[in-house]
A and B are shown apart, each in its own frame.
Chain A
Amino acid sequence: MSTQAISHALPHAGADDAHHGELSFWHKYVFSTDHKVIGIQYGITALLFLQFGFFLMMMMRWSIAYPGKPLPIMGHVLERVLGDVAAGGVISPALYNSFGAMHGTIMVFLGIVPLAFAAFGNFVVPLQIGAPDMAFPRINMASYQAYVVGGTIMLVSFFIPGGAAQAGWTSYSPLATSLNTNGQTFWIIAMVFLITSSLLGAVNFLATIIQLRAPGMTWMRLPFFVWSQFVTGFLLLLAFPPLEAAAIMQLMDKVAHTSFFLPTGLSINGGAHISGGGSPLLWQHLFWFLGHPEVYVLILPAMGIVCEIIANNTRKPIWGYKSLVYSALTIGFLSFIVWAHHMYMTGMGTKISTFFQTTTMIISIPSVIILTCLFLSLWGGSIRFNTPMLFSLAFLPMFGIGGLTGLPLGFNFSDLHLHDTYYVIAHFHYVVAPGTIFALFAGVYYWFPKMTGRMMSEFWGKVHFVGSLIFMNAIFQPMFAQGMAGMLRRMADGGANYSAASVPGAIGGLSPMIMHFNQTISIAAWCLGLAQIPFIINFFWSIKHGKPAGSDNPWHSTTLEWQTPTPPPHGNFTKPLIVHRGPYEYSVPGRDKDFTPQNEA
């Protein structure tokens, strides 16, 4: 039953609670085992990491657009703090490489996954299934703490002699092992903590969704967001351990001088004695065995969020709920057997290559089905164009571009030309940046009133949206052209040396227009940074000064998280609840309201 007024009183704590009465500040906000607090902790920490990763990218874009020129303002700071690698305020290639490696690592492992899976998942999933908390609250707290430890180690690595990891977020051996600095070691140790955090979180999510659904909440009545988190949990559970094994082996290579990934005959650091006999390809296989499911971890929660918001803002049920569910399950299953499409250039035999190409093509089908269902859900809808809906609507074509541009990469013959070029960068950023991040923005605007009882400003939300949409496209659209022209990834000077060495007009050289895009892209990137400022201010200002939501269910939604007081008390639901109907009963003919909450009899 939805409550009438916003209530702030804590209900009487159950006998199982370890505490009675008021908790201390530390127990309530820092060492909390309440999934909502942990969700917000994850959310704020992840947003901060996303911002940091963004700063790294803004500095990298300077080096690409104006190689060899000192970085304004930040150049002095870098020189003071980091020393030689930023001599004269210029970003050296080594520093660029470490920015690049850390940008990728931080955005993926410290930013998107914690925000999409852990933050939104922790806050919303127990509420949406009608549970009082996650199945294992203390493990939940432990997983957040492991995340913070891992993130701290990553940040600290910038300041050690030699700086942070430089071998890309993919940390390929032998480069990762042969660099004479400790940045890579810190990276590996931090990854072990982050993987542990994810594993604990995955166990918690899966056990919660399987065991703690309220009476009447059958599998096919779950909101699609819960299904997407469920599949994501399985991906994290089963795909991360091989990377953990690989990380342990790479750590042994670095610290114990083993040769898991070092082939015979390799000379490391002037001939330090290694046994050889290892295989660099082994690292790649183990890394990408996680790496591919990881990208589905990045996208599935986002699809879930978009689905919730589209259903709510079209005032009609989602088209093809069953197709969505089966597609998500299929994606989860198939994602484990496509990984070597990241390794087409490693000389695998044609039979194995063909196998991976086939599975890669097949996995695009359920993704298209999901997108199609979401598109079709718009038809005949009474669309409300609020900020969450704008971001969700934009997600659809943006993810569409990202997904379709992945197809040439999935085929061996076209990947030959495009591998490791800016085309790849454009493809995956389209999927993650105007894809997943838009969905996450939508989620923030959407669930903000449940967390705080206030709405974020619609006007500034729309400003944020328009700015982000325009500049994200301005950044990544030209990169397709750059990649097809042959511009390679991870070049600190943006291809300047490469372009200067080629004969003007020759095929394979980088034309002045392609090189000029470097500057337009960089300017767009800095403008994108400016476009986030309204969001940041809006977010913090609205906590205390936003328009009051007016009810516990300001969006008039059917799902259970809106049937609690605002903010939900410890234990979430004040009365025992029973679920009677599916998740998207909007505009059902014959009813007086245009929505029917799931727990309404």
Chain B
Amino acid sequence: MSDPHDAAEFQKHVKKYLFVFYALIVGTVATVAASWAHIDSVALTVTIALFIACVKGFLVAGYFMHLMSEKKMIYGILIATAFFFAGLMYLTVLSMQPSSLIHMK
């Protein structure tokens, strides 16, 4: 946003956007293809799917949403949010597990 309104400067950004676009398409195809492969382990399937999704997510957030060049204030807000989201997910799932792993001996 504080970038110069120089057309040439912007062409470089446009190149980046196009690269991200192609990467996203490749990622989509990859994730569907991975689901076609008969992987037995549920954990591995989930890991691969989430890994590809995270890569795509970082590309969208980093380049399309300009997070790579964004200011500290925004980063701070998002990191706090990520922490609380992780807390919500992790602690809730842990509290509802009937597994014996969560009882003190």
Provide the main secondary structure of the chain B interface: helix
A352 and B95 form a contact (CB under 8 A):
yes
Q: Are B104 and A340 in contact (CB under 8 A)?
A: no
Chain A nearest Cβ from B67, distance in angstroms: 18
A337, CB-defined interface residue at 8 Å: yes
Q: Which of A289, A337, A352 contacts B94 (CB 8 A)?
A: A352
Interface residue? A74 (CB, 8 A): no
Question: Could you say which of B87, B91, B94, B103 contacts A350, with CB atoms under 8 Å apart?
Answer: B103
Instruction: Check A238/B84 contact, CB under 8 A, given A340-B95, A352-B91, A352-B94.
Output: yes
- In the complex, the answer to whether B80 meets A349 with C-beta atoms within 8 Å is no
Of residues 142 through 174 on chain A, the ones whose CB sits less than 8 Å from some CB of chain B are none
* Residues B88 and A289 in contact, CB atoms below 8 Å apart: yes
A interface residues, how many (CB within 8 angstroms): 23
Give B84's nearest chain A residue, CB to CB: A336
Decide yes or no: A337 and B91 within 8 Å by CB, A349-B97, A350-B104 being known contacts. Answer: yes
What is the CA–CA distance of A235 and B88 in the complex, to the nearest angstrom? 14
Contact B96–A242 (Cβ < 8 Å): no
Residue of A nearest to B96 (CB): A281
Q: Which of B88-105 contact A (CB under 8 A)?
A: 88, 91-92, 94-97, 99, 102-104
**Given A238-B81, A350-B104, also A210-B95 (CB < 8 A):** no
A351 in contact with B84 (CB, 8 Å): no
Q: For the complex, is B73 an interface residue (Cβ under 8 Å from A)?
A: yes
Residue on A with the closest CB to B97?
A349
A210 to B77 CA separation, bound complex (whole angstroms): 12
Mask, A33-47, CB within 8 Å of B = 1, is 000000000000000
Whether B104 and A351, one on each chain, are in contact in the complex, defined by CB atoms closer than 8 angstroms, is yes
Interface size on B, as a range, is: 10 to 19
Shortest C-beta distance, A415 to chain B (Å), equals 15
Distance in angstroms between the alpha carbons of A210 and B91 in the assembled complex = 31
Contact A242 B91 (CB under 8 A): no
A352 to B99, CA, bound (A): 12
Interchain CA distance A117-B95 in the complex, whole Å: 32
The answer to whether A337 and B102 touch across the interface, beta carbons within 8 angstroms, is no
- In the assembled complex, the Cα of A4 lies from the Cα of B96 at a distance in Å of 64
Which residues of A are found within 8 Å of B81, using beta-carbon distances? 238
- Do A349 and B103 form a contact, CB below 8 Å, given A238-B80, A279-B96, A340-B95? yes
What B residues does A285 contact at CB under 8 A?
A: 88, 92, 95-96
Distance to closest chain B CB from A532 (angstroms): 38
Q: Which residues of B contact A350 (CB under 8 A)?
A: 102-104
Min Cβ gap A515→B in Å is 37
A sample of 17 inter-chain contacts (CB < 8 A) reads A210-B73, A238-B81, A238-B84, A282-B92, A285-B88, A285-B92, A333-B80, A336-B84, A340-B95, A343-B95, A348-B96, A348-B102, A350-B103, A352-B91, A352-B95, A352-B102, A355-B91
9 cross-chain pairs, A with B, having the tightest CB-CB distances, nearest first: A349-B102, A348-B95, A285-B92, A350-B104, A351-B102, A352-B95, A336-B84, A349-B103, A337-B87
Give 14 new A-B contacts, CB below 8 A, not counting A210-B73, A351-B103.
Answer: A238-B80, A281-B95, A289-B92, A336-B87, A336-B88, A337-B87, A343-B95, A348-B102, A349-B99, A350-B103, A351-B102, A352-B91, A352-B95, A355-B91
User: Residues on B close to A: CB < 8 A?
Assistant: 73, 80-81, 84, 87-88, 91-92, 94-97, 99, 102-104
Interface residues of A (CB under 8 A from B): 210, 234, 238, 242, 279, 281-282, 285-286, 289, 333, 336-337, 340, 343, 346, 348-352, 354-355
